[in-house]
Chain A
């Protein structure tokens, strides 16, 4: 009926110029669609890499090389950051606890915060910034200079050769770095707490041991594993679908850091929510 009441012979109905609202809705729609497409392709690349896990060649050497790159080369920044994080967190919580005369709780509080939250999250963010970006840039450069085409042309599966070792390496290494972060963070805390703030050494240690459960440590390491998966997958995905020359490589690099950092923080919340 609505159609019939508007005869076809009429002048075409005036189409108002796209208003700000229409345009922004269209913009949002496009974002959502491209976001969904991204999600689909990330899942796809991850699924391919997982399906390749036990497909020969296994790529042990390449994986070790990537572990060295992600792990060993991240050591300085992890050591530095963890020591100072433990130290500053101790300083601040000491000030707060001192108001109630509860300074003795500092060691345990810092320990729990480090193992559950700060260790995995900061390690994840640091690795995303240092190693994830470099992986995205390397694969992106290989894409735009046709090296990935060359792999394909030589009948070498780039997922098996490039993507699998990188994802496996990040999944293995980020938990290791996190464990190190936790440990060195506690050392930093001890150094400030016992060394500078003159907390009692036995009390600091007892609280640390009593409060930090294996549960806290395992939760933290599980998070780290998920973050490693995010970093490796996002970096490979961004690199793999790079287009547009050197500028494209730059964009892929930046966006790999942004996307994996955001994904780390969001998934951190959901894991914390799901695991008591």
Chain B
């Protein structure tokens, strides 16, 4: 078993030397990363460094040009489509722009994973959806269409949809970007509580909100140019005097990274 050196927890997801290009755009350039089981791992980095691309590789939405990705001991690259689908059932994903189905109302969006994969009676489905929507504070919006929601509401519907089947892995792509400060704090709280309530859950969160990252993450990985250049506990990042880290945390224009 491989242990994550930062948290001491066993590795749940492991990237080994992953490369990915889109045409001439070389995005991931030898990414190595261990995501520890039962913890919150935050991936930080500038826009366009490949954070979302990194996340999409775990679910097999993208395939690396080179390198391997392991889920526990399973090499994702060697799975056939059917096995890959079974693996995906263990994931819940909150997409950067929510990616709700715009032909369905909020209720149907959240119920969708249940209807697809479980054979619950409609009463059970209704109860579960109602509970999930209450958890994200959207009980009033059940019958609205995604186009009638604000960006923040859409993200919370996305979280309810991701949580509905009690996944083993929760992936959040910028869950708080575009939310007002109070909603953002509530969302961070929700992410933290969700993790606390489920010791076996493994969360990965991409965020630009450094304060929140340092507050809720167990491990932080800093991505620059498609590689993890620093990883450690939030304390490590908070105390580091590395120029890159200092500049990124401070959001400063002076430093090694140029606009």
Contacts and interface: CB of A to CB of B under 8 A. Distances in A.
Interface of A: 57, 138, 141-142, 145-147, 149-150, 152-157
A157 B99 contact: no
A153 B59 contact: yes
Nearest to B89: A155
Nearest to B82: A157
B59 A152 contact: yes
A128 to B, nearest CB: 22
B86 A146 contact: no
Nearest to A154: B113
Interface of B: 56, 59-61, 85-86, 88-89, 91, 93, 95-97, 99-103, 112-113, 116-117
A152 B95 CA distance: 12
9 nearest A-B residue pairs (beta carbon):
A155-B88, A150-B99, A146-B99, A155-B89, A153-B93, A155-B85, A153-B59, A147-B99, A154-B113
B52 to A, nearest CB: 9
A157 B97 contact: no
Given A154-B88, A154-B116, A157-B85, A145 B97 contact: yes
A155 B117 CA distance: 9
Nearest to B59: A153
Contacts, number: 47
B99 A145 contact: yes
Contacts of B113: 154
Given A149-B56, A150-B93, A156 B116 contact: yes
A54 to B, nearest CB: 15
B99 A149 contact: yes
Given A153-B93, A154-B112, A156-B116, A147 B102 contact: yes
A150 B92 CA distance: 10
Nearest to B101: A147
A152 B112 CA distance: 13
A146 B96 CA distance: 9
B86 A155 contact: yes
Contacts of B88: 152-155
Contact of A149 (B61, B86, B101): B61
Given A155-B85, A155-B116, A155-B117, 17 more contacts: A57-B116, A141-B102, A142-B101, A145-B97, A145-B102, A146-B97, A147-B101, A149-B56, A150-B100, A150-B101, A152-B59, A153-B59, A153-B93, A153-B95, A154-B88, A155-B88, A156-B116
